[in-house]
Amino acid sequence: MSATIDEGGAVIDRVGWVAAVPIEQATGTLKEAYDWQAAVIGEPTEFTRLGSLHPHLVMERLRLYKEVEAVVSGLTEAERRLTVFVTSVLNATPHCASGAQAALRRAGVGDELVERLGADPNALTGNPRWDEILRHVRLLTRTPGEITAGDLDRLRSVGLDDRDIVALNNLSAYYSYINRVATGLGLRTSIPDAHSAAAPR
């Protein structure tokens, strides 16, 4: 990230490949959004600042992030973080994948498996339920138009109910959106571990 000076003498930061409003210059809705996230992790993340030219978009993304992270289902924390990680790897989004790696460690997923999935998102985990979940994540991320009712039956066969399936679908689809925002605007940095649990409360 670097800073430039506009014609009026104001400092404009850059996040990724686009201009961003500096934290100390934020006002109104943008300041509220920055402060909301800073209350959790001490500062707004690079991703949050990436959208700062559109303050209401920043705020609504934070609200959606909060809701996505708060969804209650039968998916374990490891299953949720594996979903985020594999989605982000498939979308070639190192920024989001790095944050998911830290969350996977907190969820007790071994480094060897994380490294294997990072190198090959098609790799098997050795856990039949996880493998079926990640098979579905790959379908949804790569070829969503090819998903059939039978694919949902496969998820049911390893213990997911419809509430879990909706949560899984939403989580992977949400991160595909976030991945495209980050990568499309040039955000390729790694997320600090402290920022990998940045959902506002």
Coil, helix or strand at residue 69: helix
Number of separate helices (H) and strands (E) present in the chain: 9, 3
Yes or no: is domain 77-191 CATH 1.20.1290.10? Answer: yes
Indicate the pTM of the whole model: 0.91
Nearest one of 113, 99, 91, 51 to 172, comparing CA atoms = 91
Each residue's pLDDT, cut to its tens digit, for the chain (201 residues) gives 454 545 454 557 999 999 999 999 999 999 999 999 999 999 999 999 999 999 999 999 999 999 999 999 999 999 999 999 999 999 999 999 999 999 999 999 999 999 999 999 999 999 999 999 999 999 999 999 999 999 999 999 999 999 999 999 999 999 999 999 999 999 999 988 777 766 667
Within the chain, all domains assigned CATH 1.20.1290.10 are found at 77-191
For residue 194, what pLDDT is reported?
73
For residue 195, what pLDDT is reported?
74
